Structure 1
Amino acid sequence: MPKVSKQSAPQVQEFGPVTDRRAEMDGYTVEFVSFGADADLDGPLQSLPGGMCRCPHWGYVVAGRMRYVFEDHEEVYEAGDAFYQPPGHRPYVDAGTELLQFSPTDDLAVTERAIMEFMSRQEGGTP
């Protein structure tokens, strides 16, 4: 049976103050994510339908606090909470938050492409 830990995750990516350690398992991406600063994806998600993440996520908040905004409500998760987020959300994460998250790899790739394209435009000076 495959397994991964924060220490054994084969892929480690730094996005400014955010560290993402991950592994892919049978169509799902398992992520250990740490936020060194407050984070939101309002800008990067604008290229997706409704300006919201279209990928479902399951996870557990190890430390800190995060808030998910939907069209008609919002949900707050804090350390010790397990969560499920269906498609159609915008995340806001407090500095110091750490989470374990499971997402379908193909759906996550669509969201991550939008984020990377946004970041490339920002670095290149294109609004």
Structure 2
Amino acid sequence: MHQRKEELPVTMEDGGLSVRLTGWGNTAVTFMQMPAGVDLTPALAGLPEDLCQCPHWGYVLEGAVHVRYADGEEETVERGNVYYWPAGHTVWFDEDTKYVEFSPEAGMRDVLEHVTHQSHG
């Protein structure tokens, strides 16, 4: 099974931010495009610990993702890096960033629904 990233359904689009997601089996396959300055932390408010509770595995194509975990530890995942983020994290972007991510589909859709609701009040 395969699909061009441009063919993935758009789940969220706003001001240069783009989330394209499809489900294969029980896995969400997501292509993310985030402009510099996006911080998802405020949009996660109201979730347990005010953090994303869905684990993710992925690969950064361009730019870098800054990650903060529930224990306060931070790291930067740069272009060319693969990653795993356990439940209990937030992310922000200091530069335009593109990445591909794989997550449990139900958890990812729940987080995106929450973020969309927070963003549009």
TM-score clears 0.5: yes
User: TM-score, normalization: structure 2?
Assistant: 0.90
Corresponding residue number in structure 1 for 2:110: 110
Task: Indicate the percent of aligned positions where both proteins have the same amino acid.
Answer: 30
Query: 1:18-70: CA deviations, max 9, x gaps?
Result: 11222210011111111233211121111101000000000000010111101
User: TM-score, normalization: structure 1?
Assistant: 0.86
User: Mean Cα displacement is larger for which, 61-70 or 90-99?
Assistant: 90-99
Gaps of 5+ in 2: none
Corresponding residue pairs, total: 119
Corresponding residue number in structure 1 for 2:91: 91
The one-letter code matched in structure 1 to 2:112 is: E
Q: Is the 8 A contact 2:19 2:33 kept in 1?
A: yes
Q: Which runs of 4+ in 1 moved over 3 A?
A: none
Q: State the distance in 1 between where 2:19 and 2:112 align.
A: 12
Q: State the distance in 1 between where 2:57 and 2:93 align.
A: 16
Corresponding residue number in structure 2 for 1:67: 66
SS at match of 1:37: coil
Structure of higher CA gyration radius: 1
Instruction: Give the deviation of 1:5 after TM superposition.
Output: 2.4
Cα RMSD of the aligned pairs, angstroms, is 1.3
